[in-house]
A and B are shown apart, each in its own frame.
Chain A
Amino acid sequence: MSIKGKAYIVGIYEHPTRKADDKSLAQLHAESAKGALEDAGLTRADVDGYFCAGDAPGLGPLSMADYLGLKLRHMDSTDSGGSSYIIHVGHAAEAIAAGKCSVALITLAGRPRSEGQATGTAPRAAGGNAPDVQFENPYGPATANMYAMCAMRHMYQYGTTSEQLAWIKVAASHHAQHNPRAMLRNVVTVEDVVNSPIIADPLHRLDCCVISDGGGAIIVAGPEVAKSLKRPKVKIIGAAEAPKHQMAGHVDLTYSGAVWSGPAAFAEAGVKPADIKYASIYDSFTITVLMQIEDLGFCEKGRGGKFVADGNLISGTGKLPFNTDGGGLCNNHPANRGGLTKVVEAVRQLRGEAHPAVLVKNCDLAIAHGTGGSLGTRHGAATVIMERE
């Protein structure tokens, strides 16, 4: 069974907050849910499927179902870090296609900024039963140095340069200047990026995403519901997911799980990378974007540096406009999980609702792709391909 054409994204919401000192986590989830339902023109009573990940407070979906007063016949709390919500879109389409629910709500929220988390540089917390922890934590794996090891290897193996990586931040900043809510709105240059302090070799401060509070929500519904709503129709035509890990010690940090989820999603959608008009690509760090662009097939493996250089990701001038809201690199990274906002901006582009300065002309086909967990150890890759109907 394919999900192609069986479900639509009918509601989206990006919480406007970037620092939520005055709100609770559950409240941010609920405000996001409310915003997406209003965007769709649906009510709480229409929701019969709920999807959330580890950022939702409480046990799986239960506390938020309780808080929101949801009456459900389907729930799914698949957690693969920041890519979870892209997986949820695919799973929601599957559930709708199988008749397990008709309107699916996906929520995300987090307050890492208010809570003062040193997200990228703090050593991972001890404890727990994860079998890998005792073989890794003594060595100080944070977030930044795990992605940095991928960048270091990519540079060694393919000749990728810091300047090429910097172009990814430059492109994001060109987009963020038009987003009044973006945390970093100043346009930066390649020199600004490579002259910013090193966090973990070879990644500079400006190679990293922002740390922000916030949230968001997505509503997925079947064709009948989508037809009844007075909104531009965004059809889900392909979705796939895959974990990548250390392969029993045969570690290869030059590629991500997108090498599996990408081709599977493209095959289901029946389209090619060259057909894509707009791409939301997870951007925890510049290297994350570069590797995923290669792995999704937008360019040959190892040629990502050349591909992203010279403004090729900037809307209006480049071949592959990406993250036109400024992405995680400049706009926000709610809960340290950027997958949901990736889908949101892709839907805005397909609806023609992105900011006019970054709006992609005739945008009828878009991709949202994410990497959750850590590129340097184990992560979940998730791809969704959407079409304007």
Chain B
Amino acid sequence: MPSQERKIQAPQPNPETKAFWDAAAAGRLMIGKCTACGELHYYPRAICPHCLSDKTELQQASGNGTIYTYSVMRRALVPYAIAYVTLQEGVSMMTNIVDCDLDKIRIGQAVRLVFKPSESGQPVPMFTPV
């Protein structure tokens, strides 16, 4: 089953997350980095979830990853694949797998970053098989 266009609920950025979504609008996926403990995290936060330091910043992700797990929602107007993708940097994020045959998605598959517009026009990061 080919993936089709689905209405994507628009994220509602707040003061803490505006930079993340501005970067997404410019075609960049950012992950959280803490300069106090050196650890990466996702979703990005002002306060580090590893050490509670406020010395956090955004780091651009390579956009390469592998599918950790997924599920194709069949009981929907437009079937779609939800997934967790583990980025090359080591953190995993919830996402969709798009622009592919939904029946051929597999755990462990290599994927790369794409952006799809949400209902507000704000692009959101998704992935497609390499």
Given A134-B12, A140-B9, A153-B68, 12 other A-B residues pairs in contact with their CB atoms under 8 A: A127-B12, A129-B14, A131-B43, A135-B11, A138-B11, A139-B96, A142-B73, A152-B71, A156-B107, A198-B74, A200-B73, A249-B41
Contacts A135-B11, A141-B82 known; A251 to B68 CB distance under 8 Å? yes
- Within B77-121, the residues touching A (CB, 8 Å) are 80, 82-84, 86, 90-96, 107-108, 118
Give complex CA distance A198, B49 in Å.
37
State in angstroms the CA–CA spacing of A3 and B106 once bound together. Answer: 47
Across the interface, do B96 and A149 meet the contact criterion of CB distance under 8 Å? no
Number of interface residues of A (CB under 8 A): 41
Min C-beta distance of A61 to chain B, whole Å = 30
Interface pairs (7), CB distance under 8 Å: A127-B12, A135-B11, A137-B9, A138-B8, A140-B73, A145-B71, A203-B71
Give A377's nearest chain B residue, CB to CB: B94
Hey, which bits of chain B sit against chain A, CB under 8 A?
A: 6, 8-14, 16-17, 21, 31-32, 39-43, 45, 49-50, 68-76, 80, 82-84, 86, 90-96, 107-108, 118, 124, 126
Q: Which residues of B contact A253 (CB under 8 A)?
A: 68-69, 84
User: A149 to B43, alpha carbons, bound, how many Å?
Assistant: 19
Tell me if A121 and B73 are in contact (CB < 8 A).
yes
- Which of the listed residues B6, B68, B69 has the most CB atoms from chain A within 10 Å of its own CB? B69
> Cβ of A249 and Cβ of B93 under 8 Å apart?
yes
Give me the 6 closest cross-chain CB pairs, A-B, nearest first.
Answer: A249-B91, A249-B42, A148-B71, A134-B11, A153-B69, A248-B49
Closest B-chain residue to A156, C-beta based? B107
Q: Shortest distance in angstroms between A334's beta carbon and chain B's nearest beta carbon?
A: 23
A141 touches B13 (CB 8 A): no
Tell me the smallest distance from the CB of B102 to a CB of chain A, in Å.
Answer: 9
Q: Are A249 and B92 in contact (CB under 8 A)?
A: yes
Q: Name the contact of A126 in the complex, choosing from B9, B43, B76, B93 (C-beta under 8 A).
A: B9
| Beta-carbon contact of A136 and B73 below 8 Å | no
Q: How many A-B residue pairs have CB under 8 A?
A: 122
Closest residue on chain A to residue B103 by CB atoms: A201
> Roughly how many angstroms separate A250 CA and B40 CA in the complex, as a whole number?
10
Q: Do A145 and B73 contact each other (CB < 8 Å), given the known contacts A156-B107, A249-B40?
A: yes
CB of A132 within 8 Å of the partner chain: yes
Interface residues of A in 171-217 (CB under 8 A from B): 197-203
Determine whether the beta carbon of A136 is less than 8 Å from that of B12: no
- Chain A, Cβ-Cβ closest to B16: A131
A141 and B94: CB pair below 8 A?
Answer: yes
Return the chain A residue nearest B76 by Cβ.
Answer: A121
Q: Which residues of B contact A199 (CB under 8 A)?
A: 73-75
Closest-CB distance, B4 to chain A (whole angstroms): 13
Q: Does A144 lie at the interface of the complex (its beta carbon under 8 Å from any beta carbon of B)?
A: yes
Q: Which residue on B lies nearest to A148, using beta carbons? A: B71
> CB distance B76 to A140 under 8 Å?
yes
> Across the interface, do A135 and B71 meet the contact criterion of CB distance under 8 Å?
no
Cα(A152)–Cα(B96), bound, Å: 15
